[in-house]
Amino acid sequence: MKIPKLIHQVHTKGLNSFSKQDQNARTTLLKNNPDWEYRFYDYNDMISFIESHYSGRYLHAFLSINPLYGAAQADYFRYLLIYKLGGAYFDIKSFTTCALTNLVLEDDDLIVLEWQGGISEYENFGKHKEIQRGREYQQWNIISSANNDYLAEVIEQVTQNIENYSVFKFGYGWSGVLKTTGPIPYTNAIDKIVDKKGFRCLGSSCQNGIIYRDNSSAIATNKTHYSQQTAPLIIFPNNKIKNLTARLSIFLLRFLKL
């Protein structure tokens, strides 16, 4: 099997920051996949991993992500991590009701899932005008072999987004993350590859036993959540002019309500 039996999870603030629901999801994930090795990474682990496996370009890109946007840091890191090691990545809000071993075939390089086709409340999730196919491949779960062309393309696209970030092009808050590091560049990068050898789209995540806990109601009242931020997504080390320009751009966007 090309995809190794490794389960990865990430949280910049560590395991102690898990809510009770997060802890329960992790317990369920491990219970249903006892033959898969589990690995967890906090912020310091993320830095150490990038330093050990990548050149300065990628570390610099990671460090350029505003710490207010832990979700974007986790986005970028998961691509770098899974590209090097392979396995299955899951957000802490997710779990499986199935055994992953039963989903993975010998020749799989990348398995992707979608919101559509399962629970009706998810039918409008992940639909973005910036995605040519119209709807996203979920990247809160990534099941992949190591060193494949799909994730190489994703990493290059997201790295360029970070390096060329502007508030007017990518935005801030929720939409800024979606466009810069999230499912929009993830999906578009994968679809750039015409020869889909080793690629399988299984359709609905929930119908395949990959479950995401929707906590949008809690997010709406959480002022510290990344979706509520009004600061630039990317900060430029040692470049005060770019940082000032980004802040002024956000002020103009909010003032003009663009």
Per the structure, the count of domains in the chain is 1
- Is residue 33 within 8 A of residue 100, CB to CB? The reply is yes
pTM, full prediction:
0.91
Q: Report yes or no on 251 lying in a domain.
A: yes
Average model confidence (pLDDT) across the chain? 91
Return the residue matching tokens 């399988």: 200
Q: Report yes or no on 231 lying in a domain.
A: yes
Nearest residue to 54 via CA among 144, 158, 140: 158
Question: Is it the case that residue 70 has pLDDT exceeding 50?
Answer: yes
Q: Report yes or no on 174 lying in a domain.
A: yes
Cβ burial of 149 (10 Å; 0-12, 13-18, 19+) is middle
CATH number of the domain to which 20 belongs: 3.90.550
Print the domain residue range for 44. Answer: 6-213+222-256
**Cα-trace Rg, the chain:** 18
pLDDT in tens, 199-226: 999 999 999 999 998 766 555 556 678 8
Q: Report yes or no on 1 lying in a domain.
A: no
| Structure tokens given for 204 | 């609905």
In whole angstroms, give the CA distance from residue 144 to residue 181: 18
Q: Report yes or no on 202 lying in a domain.
A: yes
pLDDT in tens, 183-198: 999 999 999 999 999 9
Question: Is it the case that residue 245 has pLDDT exceeding 70?
Answer: no
